[in-house]
């Protein structure tokens, strides 16, 4: 009988420990359930808010605004890159032309401008010269 009492005491002790563990698990489960309910409530509010925005078209407008900003940014970058490439190409072109010994476009333009100035001066001189010849011939005819 002592062995039976010992076994009953062991079983009773095991049951008490199991009950303590179950109570701790129940408390933990209650905490987790409470947290899940709070998160669920928060999520429901968030989903409802997003649904309202979707129905009002705000989400699409927000996406369009973001898309436009991104497009402007990419255009600015592309323009900067294009300008940079053009500058580098001009430098390379100038270097090649110097090496080959050919005038650059800028130099040709300067030469053309200089030639135009010289041509205008020559035209003025040419206009003034025949007038002087006519005067000289008219004076010669009067003297004769």
pLDDT, tens digit (0-9, with 9 covering 90-100), for 34-77: 888 888 888 888 888 878 877 777 767 777 888 999 999 999 99
Q: Do both 97 and 107 map to the same domain?
A: no
Q: Output the pLDDT for position 134.
A: 58
Residues whose CB is less than 8 angstroms from the CB of residue 59 and which lie 6 or more positions away in sequence, other chains included: 50, 53
Q: Given phi > 0 = left and psi -120 to 50 = alpha, else beta, which region is 140?
A: alpha
Q: Do both 42 and 62 map to the same domain?
A: no
Q: Output the pLDDT for position 102.
A: 78
Q: Output the pLDDT for position 99.
A: 80
Who wins on pLDDT, 131 or 11? Answer: 11
Q: Do both 61 and 94 map to the same domain?
A: yes
**The pLDDT of residue 15 is above 70:** yes
**The pLDDT of residue 20 is above 80:** yes
94-133 pLDDT per residue, tens: 888 778 877 777 888 999 999 999 999 999 998 887 655 5
Q: Output the pLDDT for position 137.
A: 60
Q: Do both 139 and 110 map to the same domain?
A: yes
Expressed as residue numbers, the domain containing 135 is 103-144
69-94 pLDDT per residue, tens: 999 999 999 999 999 999 999 888 88
Q: Do both 49 and 75 map to the same domain?
A: no
Q: Do both 50 and 25 map to the same domain?
A: yes
Q: Output the pLDDT for position 130.
A: 61
Q: Do both 2 and 51 map to the same domain?
A: yes
Note whether 70 and 78 are within 8 A (CB): no
Q: Do both 5 and 44 map to the same domain?
A: yes
Q: Do both 87 and 115 map to the same domain?
A: no
Name the domain count of the chain.
Answer: 3
Q: Do both 92 and 107 map to the same domain?
A: no
Q: Do both 96 and 112 map to the same domain?
A: no
Q: Do both 96 and 82 map to the same domain?
A: yes
Helix axes 58-100, 2-56, angle to 10 degrees: 70
Q: Output the pLDDT for position 140.
A: 57
């Amino acid at each position: 009988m002592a062995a039976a009492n010992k076994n009953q005491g062991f079983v009773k002790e095991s049951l008490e420990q199991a009950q303590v563990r179950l109570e701790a698990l129940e408390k933990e489960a209650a905490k987790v359930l409470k947290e899940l309910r709070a998160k669920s409530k928060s999520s429901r509010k968030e989903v409802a808010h997003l649904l309202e925005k979707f129905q009002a078209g705000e989400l699409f407008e927000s996406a369009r605004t973001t898309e436009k900003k991104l497009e402007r940014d990419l255009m600015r970058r592309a323009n900067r890159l294009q300008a940079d490439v053009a500058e580098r190409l001009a430098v390379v072109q100038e270097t090649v032309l110097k090496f080959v010994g050919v005038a650059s476009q800028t130099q040709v333009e300067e030469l053309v401008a200089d030639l135009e100035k010289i041509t205008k001066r020559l035209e003025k001189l040419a206009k003034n010269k025949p007038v002087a010849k006519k005067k000289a011939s008219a004076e010669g005819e009067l003297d004769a």
